């Protein structure tokens, strides 16, 4: 029905936003999704004593503001959905109150735990039961770290809510667990399609914490009466969308029915391809790919790449020194810097933790006998060229794993505003890049609300709506041979 209005909250690691989506007919009578942003706010990691945390209550405050603004602007959304970054969670006590501040996935309490857990469970066994790349921040390691620290919160907790489910609960009072987020925990077994209770027991993680997952498109419940009263707004139903932002973003890739490759480009870069089944082979494990549950019964075979985080951290460092440069200014400086001077491997573990990013880049270059980048432009150029080469490496690996060749790469997310990165990526791949939409996670979030409301039949129809509603920028590759030479050098860094 045209006029149908939905509200999406998309919480990224660097910023959160509230967007309104409205179905409308254009002048030719074609149905389109119109999107307007009504609120955007920064999201910060906060160090408290020894630990790094999220400011969950601030996020709740900003979401309430988003709801108020939506109605003040004359919109009347019937539903809302929340998507966030993966893996993180809050714990509730028996009265349903939040126990402490949720940890940030970059907290160092999980350092060294991949090896320790592999020693207990076996790497292959764990991979076959979870399908996930071994990332230090997976929920499994976070809970195991709390267990090792004898955290009293773990003893008292009755329920674990993953971040989007937690934020939805704080607005509705309804506890739920959505499937796409559940598959980021490493505690969900895609083979048996259930929580891996045996694994939890082996690691001393209480299995009572976990609710049965529901699939995207499920109605969770209405805004809590006290929230409606506080904000002065009518009832709105929460929908469990693809609550993992990456999965919502992939749902909004305007691809047709053919197999395609995608790159969700934000704080992280997630590169991969859509599958109907998880690919739980040794080769997948060795090439360090994940199988993440997606919307519409899909599995996404993808690699987590450190992404624009590295650039964000350099920017933060310069900002804090009073040398404030916007993203477009940084991109311009990079464009002016000399090409192919020095490269890093973005997934070198040193780049994961916050702080000292400029020095980390310089020391990587020094250790690998390359010229040390000095200026802002040289540093950003080094990051962007290195990311583009990493994308080529990951795309080739995805092609190897699936035994398919992809004709180009769909790029979505905030990072595609960096046109230099899109251009570099097309050049590094020697294939076209199709960029758009920018707000893919929020749009994918809206699509599953439209599915829940019966406005879209399925993922295919929803994707056609995206293709009909948002423009795409095409970047054709150049024939610059320097990219091939740079790739040889990059592969020499030796990481998969
Ligand atoms: P997340 O959802 O993970 O917080 P986004 O998808 O919002 O991230 O993408 C944020 C990234 O997009 C920033 O790190 C920055 O590199 C890039 N970006 C945002 N705006 C611009 C811009 N105007 N020009 C170039 N790059 C931009
Ligand atoms: C991207 C993302 C990614 C996760 C990471 C924690 O926002 O959700 O898919 O691995 O955050």
Q: What is the ipTM of this complex?
A: 0.99
Cα 201 to averaged position of ligand 2 atoms, centre (Å): 26
Residue 233 Cβ contacting ligand 2 at under 6 Å: no
245 is catalytic: yes
Alpha-carbon distance 185 to 202, whole Å?
16
Residue 269 Cβ contacting ligand 2 at under 6 Å: no
Concatenating the DSSP letter of every residue in 200-213 gives HHHHT--GGGPPPP
Residue 75 Cβ contacting ligand 1 at under 6 Å: no
Residue 335 Cβ contacting ligand 1 at under 6 Å: no
Alpha-carbon distance 444 to 431, whole Å?
25
Pick the residue whose CA is nearest to atom 2 on ligand 1. 12
Q: Which atom of ligand 2 is nearest to the CA of 86?
A: 8
- Residue 241: exposure state from Cβ atoms within 10 A (0-12, 13-18, ≥19): buried
pTM greater than 0.80 (yes/no): yes
Cα 69 to averaged position of ligand 2 atoms, centre (Å): 28
Cα 415 to averaged position of ligand 1 atoms, centre (Å): 4
Partners of 410 in the beta sheet? 262, 434
Residue 138 Cβ contacting ligand 2 at under 6 Å: no
Q: Which ligand is nearest to the CA of 85?
A: 2
Taking 70 as the pLDDT cut, the residues of the chain under it are none
Instruction: Determine the pLDDT at residue 308.
Output: 98
Alpha-carbon distance 115 to 20, whole Å?
44
Residue 16 Cβ contacting ligand 1 at under 6 Å: no
DSSP state of 487: H
Cα 235 to averaged position of ligand 1 atoms, centre (Å): 33
Tokens for 493?
């860094």
Residues listed for the chain? 496
Alpha-carbon distance 496 to 491, whole Å?
9
In this structure, is the dihedral angle defined by the CA atoms of residues 381, 385, 391 and 393, taken in order, positive or negative? negative
Pick the residue whose CA is nearest to atom 10 on ligand 2. 86
Which of the following is catalytic: 10, 165, 245, 347?
A: 245
Tokens 């620290």, residue located:
149
φ, ψ at 37 (rounded to 5°): -85, 130
Instruction: Determine the pLDDT at residue 1.
Output: 72
Write b or e for each residue in 35-60: b if 16 or more Cβ atoms lie within 10 A of its Cβ, otherwise e.
Answer: beebbebebebeeeeeebbbbbeebb
Please say whether the beta carbons of 205 and 187 come within 8 A: yes
Q: Which atom of ligand 1 is nearest to the CA of 10?
A: 2
Tokens for 194?
């259930």
Q: Which atom of ligand 2 is nearest to the CA of 270?
A: 9
Q: Which ligand is nearest to the CA of 416?
A: 1
Q: How many beta carbons lie within 10 A of that of residue 9, not counting itself?
A: 27
Tokens 């002016």, residue located:
336
Compute CA 387 distance to the chain's CA centroid, rounded to the nearest angstrom: 17
Instruction: Determine the pLDDT at residue 131.
Output: 98
Write b or e for each residue in 243-281: b if 16 or more Cβ atoms lie within 10 A of its Cβ, otherwise e.
Answer: bbbbbbbbbbbbbeeeebbbbbbbbbbbbbbbbeebbbe
Q: Which atom of ligand 2 is nearest to the CA of 88?
A: 6
Instruction: Determine the pLDDT at residue 479.
Output: 87
Residue 470 Cβ contacting ligand 2 at under 6 Å: no
């Amino acid at each position: 029905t045209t006029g149908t209005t939905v509200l999406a909250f998309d919480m990224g690691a660097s910023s959160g936003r509230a967007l309104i989506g409205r179905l409308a007919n254009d002048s030719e009578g074609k149905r389109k999704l119109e999107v307007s942003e009504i609120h955007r706010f920064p999201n910060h990691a906060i160090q408290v004593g020894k630990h790094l945390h999220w400011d969950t209550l601030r996020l709740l405050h900003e979401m309430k503001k988003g709801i108020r603004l939506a109605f003040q602007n004359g919109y009347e959304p019937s539903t809302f959905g929340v998507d966030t970054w993966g893996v993180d969670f809050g714990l509730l006590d028996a009265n349903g109150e939040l126990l402490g501040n949720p940890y940030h996935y970059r907290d160092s309490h999980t350092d060294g735990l991949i090896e320790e857990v592999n020693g207990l469970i076996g790497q292959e066994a764990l991979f076959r039961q979870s399908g996930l790349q071994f990332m230090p921040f997976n929920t499994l390691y976070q809970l195991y770290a709390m267990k090792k620290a004898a955290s009293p919160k773990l003893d008292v907790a009755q329920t674990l809510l993953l971040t989007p489910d937690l934020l939805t609960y704080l607005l509705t009072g309804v506890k739920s667990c959505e499937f796409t987020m559940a598959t980021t925990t490493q505690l969900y077994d895609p083979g048996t399609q259930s929580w891996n209770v045996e694994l939890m027991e082996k690691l001393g993680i209480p299995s009572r914490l976990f609710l049965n997952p529901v699939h995207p498109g499920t109605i969770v419940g209405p805004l809590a009466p006290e929230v409606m009263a506080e904000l002065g707004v009518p009832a709105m139903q929460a929908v469990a969308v693809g609550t993992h932002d990456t999965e919502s973003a992939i749902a909004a890739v305007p691809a047709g029915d053919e197999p395609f490759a995608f790159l969700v480009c934000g704080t992280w870069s997630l590169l991969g391809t859509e599958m109907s089944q998880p690919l739980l082979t040794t080769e997948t494990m060795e090439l360090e790919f994940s199988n993440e549950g997606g919307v519409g019964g899909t599995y996404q075979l993808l690699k987590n790449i450190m992404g624009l985080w590295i650039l964000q951290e350099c920017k933060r460092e310069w900002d804090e020194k009073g040398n404030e440069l916007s993203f477009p200014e940084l991109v311009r400086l990079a464009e002016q810097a000399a090409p192919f001077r020095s490269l890093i491997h973005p997934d070198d573990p040193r780049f994961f933790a916050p702080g000292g990013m400029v020095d980390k880049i310089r020391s990587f270059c020094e250790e690998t006998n390359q010229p040390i980048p000095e200026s802002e432009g040289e540093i950003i150029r080094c990051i962007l060229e290195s990311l583009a080469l990493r994308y080529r490496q990951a795309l080739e690996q995805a092609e190897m794993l699936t035994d398919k060749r992809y004709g180009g790469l769909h790029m979505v997310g905030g990072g595609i505003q960096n046109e230099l990165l899109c251009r570099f990526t097309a050049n590094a791949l020697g294939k076209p890049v199709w960029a758009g939409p920018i707000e893919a996670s929020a749009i994918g979030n809206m699509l599953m609300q439209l599915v829940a409301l019966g406005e879209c039949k399925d993922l295919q129809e929803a994707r056609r709506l995206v293709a009909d509603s948002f423009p795409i920028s095409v970047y054709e590759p150049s024939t610059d041979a320097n990219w091939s030479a740079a790739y040889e050098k990059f592969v020499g860094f030796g990481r998969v």
